[in-house]
Structure 1
Amino acid sequence: MSVVGIDLGTLNTVIAVARNRGVDVITNEVSNRATPSLVGFGPKSRYLGEPAKTQEISNLKNTVSSLKRLVGRSLKDPDVQVEQQYVSAALVDVNGQVGAEVSYLGEKRQFTATELTAMYLSKIKQTAANELRLPVQDMVLSVPAWFTDIQRRALIDAAEIAGLRTLRLINDTTAAALGYGITKLDLPGPEEKPRRVCFIDIGHSNYTASIVEFKKGELAVKATACDRHFGGRDFNLALVNHFHKEFKGKYKIDITTNPKAMVRVDAAAEKLKKILSANQQAPMNIESLMNDIDVTAMITRQEFEALVEPVLNKATAPIEKALAEAKLTKDDIDFIELVGGSTRVPALKERIQAFFGKTLSFTLNQDEAIARGCAFSCAILSPVFKVRDFAVQDICSYPIEFSWEKDADIPDEDTSLTVFNKGNVLPSTKILTFYRKQAFDLEARYAKPEELPGKVPAFIGRFSVKGVKADPKTEFMICKLKARVNIHGVLNVESGYYVEDQEVEEEVKDEAKEGDDAMDTDDKKDDKPKTRKVKKQVRKGDLPIVAGTTSLDEPAKNAATEKESAMVMEDKLVADTEEKKNELETYIYDMRNKLDDQLADFASEEEKDKLRSKLTDSEDWLYEDGEDATKAIYIAKMDEIRAMAGPITQRYFEKVEAERAAVQAKLDAEAAAKRAEAESKKAAEEQAKKEEPAKDEVMTDAQPETEEAKE
């Protein structure tokens, strides 16, 4: 079983896996460590990840981006309206959810954001499986801290449709904090002052600041603040607007009238921004931008910073808000850790450093820290890996309240209660008590709708409590409901039960006096223990709960899963068909070359003419009628050529085999001769050794006589 962490980004997605006693970031099919978060549609198949990026400019209307920012939203949401300027496909309403209308397999199709995200996650799943050579099922997925219940449920649904089980949805900065803390061996002990770190994550579209306290073996998030509309794309947009004006005056072209030109300028602005992070000036050159006009421009870092000044002015707002919510000052922070690609912008780093008045820290990989943290979290939750214990305590981003209908028998009863406050520890469980005579409903919603992103509905879920019957003695039933915000940040009423007040005997313990001796103690053993009657609530049975939440119901989820599986099979068939087509094309050219080269001496002129004719006919068919043939037809065409070329290639291989056998026989003969020579030499040496001892013996006996003669 694999342990996978996924940092699902607006622009790119990073996959990390726990293995080899550590965490590795894995590469995709083109060896990139980040995969574009794009889904595209074509006349034959879908394009997911890298293939979607490759065909994006030529297929803009059928390519969908910003998947993470669309999931769980409605078309009327103002945030979605903002997103339309970054998404080239047409956004539409699909049964109350935002979706995209695209041309797929030659017809207009509509897909919800949840389905589109599921398509992309199935690609990520396959990328991980190809690298690991293992099936991938479990994963931990990162989400922005500002995601609401409906958005989190939509992501979990998307993962399930893709065949993935979400072990945890973890907030971006919390994942980075886990990756930071789990590798530190110098964290303070339980009794010491905690280490306070401010994690600042600025990605392509989102800015999050989190204040986290670390102690040995644990982290606790104290506060998190976000700006949903602050990121790298805002810097890109400032550059695009600048060049739009410049090209309009200099070249008399308006790039806003040409979507492809806009995408190309945006891509150039992204590169230019990165160059300016390390250089004082950078050029922009785009060939045939529109109307066959080549454009060139130059911009300095100073000019760029002036363009993005309105964005930079908001650079410290989330930090100030997070500090205020944590009831801390900037002097209380020990380290400031920056992650996210946009934190490389020098002007942004300067603003943050000036705010804190201390050096910033970049000990984590800015692009991969969140994915690594997700993989660590997955390893902790998975039974496959043994990981150092590290507790993660996150917090609720928004207050949650429950409301219910007033009971006629309790006229002064409150009908709503804020159960989970903002900043409440997560995961968290609360027990709610109700006195009821009959079945009743509860509704969970966010207590402060104005704090939610865009126009996300405040509604979370409706929970119907069944099986309620009045107790004849008390005329009501005491109902207990277990409400829980789970590890994903999702709310559920997990269970219900009813209790009865009963009088039970409880032993009263006597406090023995210090002066009592052994005899007194023995006497006391014979006394009956003192008891008293106390009222206690005793659990009597369970109450069924019917939940109505924003998650997909089972039939809809199963239908979406089947639909996704069918599209995966279609994509595989198209890929296999394309592979067979390429094999046929390669075989035609290869056979034609071999016929004039290595097979030339093994075929008669008649055979050559027939085979050449067959190759030409197959080639003509391939580029005309065979452009859109099936996999089976390509295989059949290949078999026809192979059958005709078979006798020729057989003769060639027979000759090659004969030559190989002759060479092998020669080598065997040489080896046998060498062995015989070696054996003969060895026999001679052994014979010589047998004769040597006799000579030594004679010399040894003669030696003393010679010496005496000399004396």
Structure 2
Amino acid sequence: MSVVGIDLGAQSTKIGVARNKGIDIITNEVSNRQTPSLVGFSARSRHIGEAAKTQETSNLKNTIGSLKRLIGRPFDDPDVQLEQRYNTAPIVDVNGLAGVEVNYLGKKEKFSATQLVAMYLTKIKDITSKELRLPVSDVTVSVPAWFTDVQRRAMIDAGDIAGLNVLRLVNDTTATALGYGITKLDLPGPEEKPRRVAFVDIGYSDYTASIVEFRKGELNVKATATDRHFGGRNFDYALTERFADEFKEKYKIDIRTHPKAWSRTLAAAEKLKKILSANPQAPLSIESLMEDVDVKAMVKRDELEEMVRPLLERVTVPLEQALAEAKLTVDDIDHIELVGGCTRVPAIKEALAKFFGKGLSFTLNQDEAIARGCAFCCATLSPVFRVRDFAVHDIVNYPIDFTWEQSPDIPDEDTSLTVFGRGNVMPSTKILTFYRKQPFDLEARYSKPEGLPGKVNPWIGRFSVKGVQADANDDFMICKLKARLNLHGILNVESGYYVEDVEVEEPVPEEGDAMDTDAANGDEQPKKTRKVKKQVRKGDLPIVSGVGGIDAAAKQTLQERENAMYMEDKLVAETDEKKNELEASIYELRDKIDGIYSEFASDEEKEKLRSKLMDTEDWLYEDGEDTTKSVYVAKQDDIRFIAGPIIQRYKEKADAERQAVLKAEEEAAAKRRAELDAKKKAEDEAKKAEEDAKKPEGDAEMKDAPEGEAQGETEEKQ
């Protein structure tokens, strides 16, 4: 079993895994530590991640990004229409939600954003399982703090379709905070003043600021504020707009009318932006951008900052909101941690340092901090690893109301209640009490729709409570409903039950002195009791929930479709592999038949093999350009049938020569060992002789004396 944390970014995704007593960021199939968040389609298969990036420019209308910014969003949402600016593939309506229309397997297909994210997560799962050589199931996935209930449900659905068990959806900055706090051994104790850290995360498409308090073994998110339209891509777009005007005036070309030219300029602008973060100026040069025109430009950092001046003026707004909500000032903040690629921009760092009036911290990896935090989060939820206990207390970002129909028997009853207010700790459970004589419904919705991202429907769900009836005395049934905002940030009414007021007797506590006196005298006085009313659970109430997300039957269908597409992609990849093997075999044998295989084949065999190779090559680039895996395997077998005997002869001779060389090496080694043994023996004998020569002559006389004495004694006895 594996422990995996996925930082699903708008531009790229990082994967953290728990192993080697720590967290590693794993690499993909081309050894990159981050995988492009792109899904592409072609007439033969899908292209996901690195493969999609490779063919993006040549397949713009069938390659889609902005996956996490589209999932769970209605098609008519202004934010969705904004994403069309960053995508060439047409964003369309798929059952009321945002999706994409592409050419796939030779026909027009529509896929919802949930399906696209599921496709991408399947690829991430594949990358991870190949790296770990283990099946991947349990994961945690990062989401923006501004995600609503419907977006979070869509992300869980995408994980289910991809065959992943999402243990937790964790907010980006919360994951960063966990990765920061769980490794710190110097956090203050429970009774001490907490360490307050401001986390500033500015990524490719959005900006989140969180104020977090740390104590030993726990973190508490005090406030979170976001700007959904502030990120690195805004800088790229501003640069591209400037270049579009410059090229139109200088080179008489309009890249706004040419999607491929616009895409290439946008990619070049992104590289230029990164260079300007470290240098005062940088050049741009693109060959044959449009109409065979080569373009060049030079940009200074000051010019870029002036282009995005309105954006830079918004840098401190989320921080001001977060501090106000947390009821803190900049002086209360102990550290400011910056993560996200866009925090490398000097103008942003200067603005943040000026706002706080103190130095900024970069102790976390700016690109990988979220993935590491997600992996830590997964490890704490999984039984596979032992992790230091660390409690995570996140907060509700959008207040949630429950509304219901007024009971005809209670004319002055309130019909709405804010159950989870903004800043409420999450996960959280609340018990709602209703007095009813018949079944009833209640609805959950966000109480301040104006604070939601884009044009999101504030409705969350409808819950029907069944089995409610008046008792024998026509009195109200006391209904208790358990509403829970779980660790994903998703709301459900998990269960319902009814209670009855029952009179029970309980002992009345007496004064200690009197009780001690009676005990000392040995008199046991009867204990006083009193009758009190208590609510006793009597039975369950069935609840029928109507919430967002995909129903079980539709989800099963999508899972089957995803599995089918995955197997099709796998077959295409294996077919391409066999085709490449066949092509490589043709060139290799053509070279070797006149080289190392030449002496092992007759002229007739050579001619037959050359003819076969030529025929196969002609077929490969004509009729065999796109065929099945089995056909390529059959063609390879035909070549092996002719080349096999030749290769076998070569191998036999090579083996014989290798054996001869090994035998010669063994004999030489044995000879060297014998020479060494003889040399050592001679040295030992010479050393012994030298020692004997050094002994004095008296030693030799003394040595013979005992023998003479013994002999004389024997003679006397006789």
Same fold (TM over 0.5): yes
Look up the equivalent residue of 1:242 and give its one-letter code: R
1:699, distance to aligned residue in structure 2 (A): 4.5
| Map of 2:716 onto structure 1 | none
| Map of 1:202 onto structure 2 | 202
1:684, distance to aligned residue in structure 2 (A): 8.0
| Map of 2:97 onto structure 1 | 97
1:703, distance to aligned residue in structure 2 (A): 6.9
Which deviates more from structure 2 when the two are superposed, residues 540-549 or residues 612-621? 540-549
Please state if 1:226 is matched with 2:198. no
Q: 1:505 is paired with a residue of what secondary structure?
A: strand
Query: 1: CA distance between counterparts of 2:58 and 2:165?
Result: 35
After superposition, give the CA deviation of every residue in 1:115-174 in whole Å (9 maximum; x if it has no partner).
000001111111111221111111111111110000000001101111111111111111
Which deviates more from structure 2 when the two are superposed, residues 578-587 or residues 440-449? 440-449
| Map of 1:520 onto structure 2 | 519
| Map of 2:347 onto structure 1 | 347
| Map of 1:709 onto structure 2 | none
Given the superposition, is the C-alpha separation of residues 674 and 228 from structure 1 closer, same or farther in structure 2, using an over 3 Å criterion?
closer
Query: 2: CA distance between counterparts of 1:479 and 1:497?
Result: 6
Structure 1 unaligned regions, length at least 5: 706-711
After superposition, give the CA deviation of every residue in 1:598-652 in whole Å (9 maximum; x if it has no partner).
1111111111101100010011111110011111111111111101111211222
| Map of 2:553 onto structure 1 | 555
Please state if 1:595 is matched with 2:593. yes
Query: 1: CA distance between counterparts of 2:676 and 2:339?
Result: 70
Query: 1: CA distance between counterparts of 2:469 and 2:349?
Result: 63
Given the superposition, is the C-alpha separation of residues 522 and 362 from structure 1 closer, same or farther in structure 2, using an over 3 Å criterion?
farther
Given the superposition, is the C-alpha separation of residues 364 and 667 from structure 1 closer, same or farther in structure 2, using an over 3 Å criterion?
closer
Query: 1: CA distance between counterparts of 2:671 and 2:364?
Result: 67
After superposition, give the CA deviation of every residue in 1:161-204 in whole Å (9 maximum; x if it has no partner).
11111111111111111111111122111111111111111111
Please state if 1:621 is matched with 2:619. yes
The two structures have a TM-score, normalised by structure 1, of 0.95
Query: 2: CA distance between counterparts of 1:432 and 1:523?
Result: 50
Q: How does 1:112-131 map to 2 (within 5 A)?
A: 112-131=112-131
1:667, distance to aligned residue in structure 2 (A): 3.9
| Map of 1:136 onto structure 2 | 136
Query: 2: CA distance between counterparts of 1:690 and 1:204?
Result: 83
1:658, distance to aligned residue in structure 2 (A): 2.5
Please state if 1:644 is matched with 2:636. no
1:421, distance to aligned residue in structure 2 (A): 0.5
1:511, distance to aligned residue in structure 2 (A): 2.6
| Map of 1:56 onto structure 2 | 56
Structure 2 unaligned regions, length at least 5: 704-718
| Map of 1:47 onto structure 2 | 47
| Map of 1:379 onto structure 2 | 379
| Map of 1:630 onto structure 2 | 628
Query: 2: CA distance between counterparts of 1:310 and 1:686?
Result: 92
1:415, distance to aligned residue in structure 2 (A): 1.4
Query: 1: CA distance between counterparts of 2:494 and 2:327?
Result: 33
Look up the equivalent residue of 1:138 and give its one-letter code: D
| Map of 2:169 onto structure 1 | 169
RMSD value, Cα: 2.2
Look up the equivalent residue of 1:634 and give its one-letter code: Y
The two structures have a TM-score, normalised by structure 2, of 0.94
| Map of 2:711 onto structure 1 | none
After superposition, give the CA deviation of every residue in 1:501-535 in whole Å (9 maximum; x if it has no partner).
10111122223129945x734635x3332211110
Query: 1: CA distance between counterparts of 2:377 and 2:698?
Result: 83
After superposition, give the CA deviation of every residue in 1:304-359 in whole Å (9 maximum; x if it has no partner).
11111011111111111111111111221111111111111111111111111111
Given the superposition, is the C-alpha separation of residues 379 and 522 from structure 1 closer, same or farther in structure 2, using an over 3 Å criterion?
farther
1:565, distance to aligned residue in structure 2 (A): 0.8
Of 510, 534, 542 in structure 2, the residue corresponding to residue 536 of structure 1 is 534
Query: 2: CA distance between counterparts of 1:370 and 1:264?
Result: 29
Query: 2: CA distance between counterparts of 1:134 and 1:272?
Result: 40
Query: 1: CA distance between counterparts of 2:353 and 2:621?
Result: 62
Look up the equivalent residue of 1:622 and give its one-letter code: L
Query: 1: CA distance between counterparts of 2:453 and 2:372?
Result: 27
| Map of 2:712 onto structure 1 | none
Look up the equivalent residue of 1:502 and give its one-letter code: V
Query: 2: CA distance between counterparts of 1:216 and 1:41?
Result: 49
| Map of 1:325 onto structure 2 | 325
Query: 1: CA distance between counterparts of 2:642 and 2:533?
Result: 95
Query: 2: CA distance between counterparts of 1:103 and 1:477?
Result: 58
Paired positions, count: 704
| Map of 1:661 onto structure 2 | 659
Q: How does 1:356-371 map to 2 (within 5 A)?
A: 356-371=356-371
Which deviates more from structure 2 when the two are superposed, residues 644-653 or residues 34-43? 644-653
Q: How does 1:443-454 map to 2 (within 5 A)?
A: 443-454=443-454
Look up the equivalent residue of 1:64 and give its one-letter code: I
Q: 2:179 is paired with a residue of what secondary structure?
A: helix
Look up the equivalent residue of 2:50 and give its one-letter code: E
Q: 1:513 is paired with a residue of what secondary structure?
A: helix
1:694, distance to aligned residue in structure 2 (A): 9.2
